[in-house]
Amino acid sequence: MSLETVIRSILSTLFLASVIRISTPIIFPAMGGLIATVTGVPNMALEGIMNVGAFTGVMVSAYTGNVWLAILAGIIAGVLMALLLGLFHIYFKTNLFIGGLAINLMASGGTVFLLYILTGDKGNSSTVKSLSVPNWDIPVIKDIPFLGEVISGHPVFTYLAFLSVFLVYIFLYRTRFGTHLRAVGENPEAATTLGINVKTSRMIALAISGVFAALGGMNLSMAYLQFFQKEMAAGRGWIGIAAVHLGARKPLGVLLASLLFGFADAVSNQLGSLNIPSQLVQTIPYVTTVVALAVYAIQQRQAALERMKRYQKEHWEALAAHKAE
């Protein structure tokens, strides 16, 4: 396979559609992570909550036959896990990362434990019939050549994910509560003196992040795939956190970062069909993050140094002028 073939396949509708598809379960936890992070309580349990959401959605849909009920159940489960983390961190002073680790542990252990009890299988839930969310063939857009194939026809969750970026932006920057959350994250003392309850705000922020993470999980088990698998989140919760940092904690930036990860993941899949061993190619997203974080950090340092050099030059010139008088 030549380079030309590779490039051509990357520019294909199939590939671009796959980027959108693969990015979705990253955008969800990233958005959740964003809200929690700007409020000062970065949610380290996104991974575990995704697993819990994925599991709950599948199981409830199998037992009730109702997709929407299942989604609601998944969201509730996610919120409860997030609140548990909040309870221990905010009220009992458990360290956030360790608390997150505990929730993740509970989630991976708990989901497999319950999976075995409910299905007798420890690997996945394919023995029960769970449902998936419908796809949406967008009326006019689906007929547009090229663009239509890329954008239309995805599961509802995908459109929800992209919409949520916009909603999160409005929430954080245009509503009172979202603004208060940002204030709490940056200067909790100031927020307190203005009557904003820091603890409550943080609990709510965590709850919201739980909703997003749960949706992300359900996106995995109820959209393209129709079953739950052990450790289904496969690190996406952590990538979501990485995306928050990479995106400089701004909704648009986080979206772009999530798309970057999705793109890298999709590319590694594509390149896997060339005889490049898939594992090395699969490291691309992770290496990208490290490189991006490094670049960002180094750039910050450089910018500060540049600024200081400029100030110094101005200062010395001013001194010299002053002496000349």
Q: In angstroms, what is the minimal distance from the CB of 30 to other proteins?
A: 13
Measured from the CB atom, the residue of 165 and 241 that comes closer to other proteins is 241
Query: Which of 153, 272 has the CB closer to other proteins?
Result: 272
**For residue 5, what are the contacts with CB-CB under 8 A and spacing of at least 6?**
none
Least distance (Å) from other proteins to the CB of residue 95?
A: 6
Q: Where are the beta strands (DSSP E) in the chain?
A: none
Rounded least distance, CB 133 to other proteins, Å: 28
Q: Encode burial over 110-130: b for 16+ CB neighbours within 10 A, e otherwise.
A: bbbeebeebbeeeebbeebeb
For residue 5, count CB atoms less than 10 angstroms from its CB and return exposed for 0-12, middle for 13-18, buried for 19 or more: exposed
Whose Cβ is closer to other proteins: residue 146's or residue 296's?
296
CB nearer other proteins, residue 84 or residue 156 = 84
Q: How far is the CB of 188 from other proteins (least distance, A)?
A: 10
Question: How far is Cα 220 from Cα 228, in angstroms, rounded to an integer?
Answer: 8
Q: How far is the CB of 139 from other proteins (least distance, A)?
A: 29
Find the shortest distance in angstroms from Cβ 224 to other proteins.
22
Contacts of residue 307, defined as CB under 8 A and 6 or more positions apart, other chains included, come to none
**Any idea which residue has 């959209």 for tokens?**
223
- Residue among 15 and 286 whose Cβ is closer to other proteins: 286
Name residue, tokens 């520019």: 11
Return d(Cα 157, Cα 71) in angstroms, integer: 11
Least distance (Å) between residue 152 CB and other proteins = 31
What is the spatial distance between Cα 249 and Cα 126, in angstroms, rounded to a whole number?
A: 38
Angle between helices 198-219 and 176-186 (to 10 degrees): 110
Neighbours of 291 (CB within 10 A): 10
Nearer to other proteins, 68 or 116 (CB): 116
Measured CA to CA, the distance from residue 48 to residue 56 in angstroms comes to 12
- Nearer to other proteins by C-beta: 11 or 280? 280
